[in-house]
């Protein structure tokens, strides 16, 4: 149809627009709209063709047509039109449907029908310029969907308003209908579900603050126990074991299988912090002629927990014990972790042993790895072990001498040997206790070197015997010269810290530059770390003459999970420790001058007694290494923020 000089309605892109055809060239129409704007469209987009007119008459006629169409569209009952078709299933033009409904096929009536059916899509489906009536089933399904959509939108609006009020701490009465929302919020926080309540909370409070906001709401409404560490709640970690796992642990029977190397006649001892209840390593020292035989004994958790059993599954989910100032969340129930596998004094325990032979000069002569039975004779704290070394205890002195030599050899290979004191924070009955721990005492060096030795030799053993295990590797770091290492401890640590490379887990043996070893695995903490248990289980199976229970594909999945969990748990521990340190400073040191070391000219400092880094606000002229007196300017333990000013 030649349309030049006609008034038409066309789709742009899915809505009807009225225009005047100024020129018709092949399949292109050059149009002008009522506002005088020029358009060019394809002819197949024209849906309604009105009469001819001059271009000057067009604006007035367009208004008239639009007014008539609007009146007619208001009269259209789409459902009635659909029902009148009696289930006919064929595509129909708007003009045909207009004749059915209005009993007239005028272009204005057709336009009204087209517009009405395009807006209300419940009963008809448009295909180009035609409409296909939907089936009864399609209409019913769509009605249900729309009803659910309306309910969802109403729910979102109600929930958003409620959350906004709760976040702003307004007085909100918790009506019975609000309880399900709080239930869902609690499940979202605990189980990290993809609940819409969580999405709404993120929209209201912001993604970064959503979990904190949820915690605050649940705490204010009595849904959270205030005595449970906030960071466990925020991470969705339940410190308690469900009854099912407690019962599984209770059913474990103590006992030691035959076929183990018996070390019970060797006086074994443990060295740990005074409050440690998961004791998973012990040491023995024996002499045979001119040889010193050192036994490094690790609690054999694999003797009680088998791959895929109930406790193993839960340990895999938890991944690690978590140590917070307020609480310890164990990987295993206490029946197992602090009893059956715990290397308690006076009772025989199954162990995984790395036995190392040295000559009188401390040179390593050989080693063997074995399943063993040990009996701990002495349990020592680090302080007691230091006293025993100083008092001339022969076993401890021999081990300390070997430890110093091992440490020196690793240092020659590029190992990081700078170890800073650490803060140990404990919260008991609301009181915050801070203790500084010297990481360089003889006993701590002794234990550290023996564990590194055992893990390094275990890695060598696995590599030589093609035992699939999880290795820990670290790329070489940039070496520092003595001239580059400042004399001030804080600056030394800052400089060395910048050379650290992140250690990684791998199924292939590789060097660990930070430890100065050619290969390294971790099997020394199977009570506390699931990856250590898996590694131990690989060794103990081979030593029993059984195949390794975990194939490489399983180890790969465990490796990925362990890396992620390690980062998450470290973040929880760091946030909780930082919170309680800031809480301590806020309570007891807020108005006191504090000694700090300047780290850079920008005002970043480190508190000398607390190893806490923050920034001085306001003008200052500090230089790296300057010792300055600061006071707390602002502090917010919940947000983990503190700023200082010059005292």
Q: What is the DSSP string of 291-304?
A: EEEEEEEEE-GGGT
The pLDDT assigned to 531 comes to 93
Q: Are 529 and 287 in contact (CB under 8 A)?
A: no
Q: Quick one: tokens of 106?
A: 């005028």
Please tell me the distance from the alpha carbon of residue 634 to that of residue 636, in angstroms, as a whole number. 7
Residues 480, 625: one domain? no
Please report where in the chains the tokens 């604006």 appear, as a residue. 59
The pLDDT assigned to 536 comes to 97
Q: Are 538 and 549 in contact (CB under 8 A)?
A: yes
Please tell me the distance from the alpha carbon of residue 326 to that of residue 231, in angstroms, as a whole number. 10
Task: Classify residue 477: in a domain, yes or no.
Answer: yes
Residues 550, 595: one domain? no
Please tell me the distance from the alpha carbon of residue 231 to that of residue 224, in angstroms, as a whole number. 12
Q: What is the 3-state secondary structure (H, E, C) of 301-351?
A: HHHCCCCCCHHHHHHHHHCECEECCCCEECCCCHHHHHHHCCCCECCEEEE
Task: Classify residue 340: in a domain, yes or no.
Answer: yes
Residues 499, 475: one domain? yes
Task: Classify residue 580: in a domain, yes or no.
Answer: no
Closest C-alpha to 131, from 198, 204, 76:
76
Task: Classify residue 59: in a domain, yes or no.
Answer: yes
The pLDDT assigned to 429 comes to 85
Q: Are 107 and 48 in contact (CB under 8 A)?
A: yes
Q: Are 252 and 310 in contact (CB under 8 A)?
A: no
Residues 419, 321: one domain? yes
Please tell me the distance from the alpha carbon of residue 406 to that of residue 448, in angstroms, as a whole number. 10
Task: Classify residue 313: in a domain, yes or no.
Answer: yes
Residues 268, 202: one domain? no
Burial 546-555 (b: 16+ CB within 10 A, else e): eebbbeeeeb
Question: Of 513, 548, 575, which closes a domain?
Answer: 575
Number of domains in the chain: 4
Q: Quick one: tokens of 471?
A: 């290795």
Q: Which helix (H) or strand (E) holds 358?
A: strand 348-358
DSSP class of residue 592? S
Please tell me the distance from the alpha carbon of residue 131 to that of residue 94, in angstroms, as a whole number. 7
Burial 389-402 (b: 16+ CB within 10 A, else e): beeebebbbbbbbb
Q: Which helix (H) or strand (E) holds 95?
A: helix 94-102
Residues 350, 388: one domain? yes
Closest C-alpha to 268, from 367, 450, 395:
395
Please report where in the chains the tokens 């769509």 appear, as a residue. 142
Question: Of 575, 597, 620, which closes a domain?
Answer: 575
Q: Quick one: tokens of 354?
A: 């790395």
Residues 324, 409: one domain? yes
Task: Classify residue 582: in a domain, yes or no.
Answer: no
Cβ contacts of 344 within 8 Å, gap of 6 or more: 279, 376, 379
DSSP letter string over 211-279?
A: HHHHHHHHHHTT-S-TTS-HHHHHTT--SSPPHHHHHHHHT------SS-EE-TTS-EEEEE-TT----
Please tell me the distance from the alpha carbon of residue 603 to that of residue 609, in angstroms, as a whole number. 18
Q: Is residue 141 helix, strand or coil? A: helix
Q: Mean pLDDT for each consecutive 10-residue tract of the chain (647 residues)?
A: 94 92 94 95 94 95 96 96 91 95 93 96 94 95 95 90 79 73 89 86 89 89 86 89 95 90 96 94 95 98 96 94 95 96 96 97 96 97 97 96 96 84 91 93 97 98 95 79 56 71 87 93 96 96 96 90 88 94 95 92 91 90 90 94 92
Please tell me the distance from the alpha carbon of residue 521 to that of residue 525, in angstroms, as a whole number. 11
Pairing state between β 348-358 and 364-381: antiparallel
Residues 384, 519: one domain? yes
Residues 110, 153: one domain? no
* H helices present in 103-178, as ranges: 107-119, 136-167
Identify the burial level of 171 via C-beta atoms within 10 angstroms of its C-beta, where 0-12 means exposed, 13-18 middle and 19 or more buried.
exposed
Q: Quick one: tokens of 576?
A: 């909780």
Please tell me the distance from the alpha carbon of residue 469 to that of residue 539, in angstroms, as a whole number. 9
Question: Of 84, 111, 134, which closes a domain?
Answer: 134
Cβ contacts of 411 within 8 Å, gap of 6 or more: 417, 516
Residues 295, 395: one domain? yes
The pLDDT assigned to 383 comes to 96
Q: Which domain holds residue 285?
A: 243-250+258-575
Residue 376: alpha-carbon gap to chain centroid: 39
DSSP letter string over 447-468?
A: HHHHHHHHHHHHHHHHHHTT--
Task: Classify residue 233: in a domain, yes or no.
Answer: no
Please report where in the chains the tokens 């040889």 appear, as a residue. 291
Residues 303, 275: one domain? yes
The pLDDT assigned to 170 comes to 58
Residues 301, 171: one domain? no
Residue 350, CA distances (Å) to 110, 218, 416, 452, 518 in order: 89, 45, 33, 21, 29
Q: Report angle CA 195, 200, 206 to the nearest 5 degrees.
A: 115
pTM of the model: 0.78
Q: Quick one: tokens of 270?
A: 């443990």
Task: Classify residue 584: in a domain, yes or no.
Answer: no
């Amino acid at each position: 149809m030649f349309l030049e000089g006609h008034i038409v309605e066309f789709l742009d892109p899915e809505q009807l627009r009225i225009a005047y055809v100024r020129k018709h060239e092949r399949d292109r129409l050059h149009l002008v709209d009522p506002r005088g704007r020029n358009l060019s469209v394809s002819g197949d987009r024209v849906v309604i063709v009105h009469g001819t007119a001059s271009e000057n008459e067009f604006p007035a006629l367009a208004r008239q047509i639009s007014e008539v169409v609007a009146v007619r569209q208001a009269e259209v009952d789409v459902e009635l039109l659909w029902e009148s078709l009696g289930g006919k299933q064929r595509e129909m033009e708007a003009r045909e449907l207009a004749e059915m409904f209005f009993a007239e096929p005028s272009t204005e009536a057709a336009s009204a029908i087209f517009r009405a059916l395009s807006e209300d899509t419940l009963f008809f489906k448009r295909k180009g310029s035609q409409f296909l009536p939907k089936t009864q089933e399609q209409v019913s399904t769509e009605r249900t969907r729309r009803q659910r959509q309306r309910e969802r939108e109403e729910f979102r609006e109600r929930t958003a308003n409620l959350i906004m009020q709760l976040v702003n701490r307004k007085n909100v009465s918790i009506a019975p209908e609000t309880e399900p929302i709080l239930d869902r919020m609690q499940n979202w926080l605990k189980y990290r579900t993809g609940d819409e309540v969580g999405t709404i909370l993120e929209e209201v409070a912001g993604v970064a603050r959503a979990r904190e906001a949820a915690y605050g709401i649940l705490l204010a409404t009595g849904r959270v126990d205030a005595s449970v560490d906030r960071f466990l709640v925020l991470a969705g970690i339940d410190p308690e074991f469900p009854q099912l796992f407690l019962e599984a642990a209770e059913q474990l029977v103590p006992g030691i299988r035959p076929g183990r190397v018996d070390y019970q006649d060797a006086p074994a001892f443990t060295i740990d912090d005074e409050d440690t209840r998961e004791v998973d390593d012990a040491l023995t020292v024996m002499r045979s002629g001119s040889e010193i035989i050192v036994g490094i004994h690790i609690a054999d958790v694999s003797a009680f927990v088998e791959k895929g059993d109930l406790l193993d599954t839960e340990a895999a989910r938890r991944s690690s014990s978590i140590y917070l100032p307020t609480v310890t969340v164990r990987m295993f129930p206490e029946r197992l972790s602090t009893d059956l596998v715990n290397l308690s004094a006076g009772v025989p325990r199954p162990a995984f042993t790395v036995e190392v032979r040295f000559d009188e000069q401390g040179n390593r002569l050989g080693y063997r790895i074995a399943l063993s039975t040990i009996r701990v004779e002495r349990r020592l704290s680090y302080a007691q072990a230091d006293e025993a070394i100083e008092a001339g205890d022969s076993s401890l002195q021999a081990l300390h001498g070997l430890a110093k030599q091992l440490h020196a050899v690793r240092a020659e290979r590029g190992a990081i040997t700078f170890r800073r004191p650490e803060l140990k924070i404990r919260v008991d009955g609301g009181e915050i206790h801070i203790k500084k721990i010297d990481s360089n005492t003889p006993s701590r060096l002794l234990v550290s070197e023996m564990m590194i030795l055992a893990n390094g030799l275990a890695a060598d053993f696995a590599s030589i015997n093609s035992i699939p295990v999880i290795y820990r590797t670290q790329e070489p770091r940039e070496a520092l010269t003595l001239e580059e290492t400042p004399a001030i401890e804080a600056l030394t640590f800052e400089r060395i810290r910048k050379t650290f490379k992140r250690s990684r887990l791998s199924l292939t043996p590789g060097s660990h530059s930070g430890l100065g070893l050619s290969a390294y695995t971790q099997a020394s903490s199977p009570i506390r770390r699931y990856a250590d248990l898996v590694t131990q289980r690989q060794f103990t199976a081979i030593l029993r003459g059984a195949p390794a229970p975990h194939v490489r594909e399983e180890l790969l999945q465990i490796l990925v999970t362990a890396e992620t969990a390690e980062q998450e748990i470290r973040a929880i521990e760091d946030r909780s420790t930082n919170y309680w340190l800031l809480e301590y400073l806020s309570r007891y040191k807020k108005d006191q001058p504090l000694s700090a070391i300047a780290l850079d000219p920008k005002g970043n400092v480190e508190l000398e007694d607390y190893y806490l880094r923050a920034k001085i606000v306001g003008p200052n002229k500090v230089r790296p290494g300057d010792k300055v007196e600061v006071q707390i300017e602002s502090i917010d333990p919940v947000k983990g923020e503190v700023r200082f000013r010059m005292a």
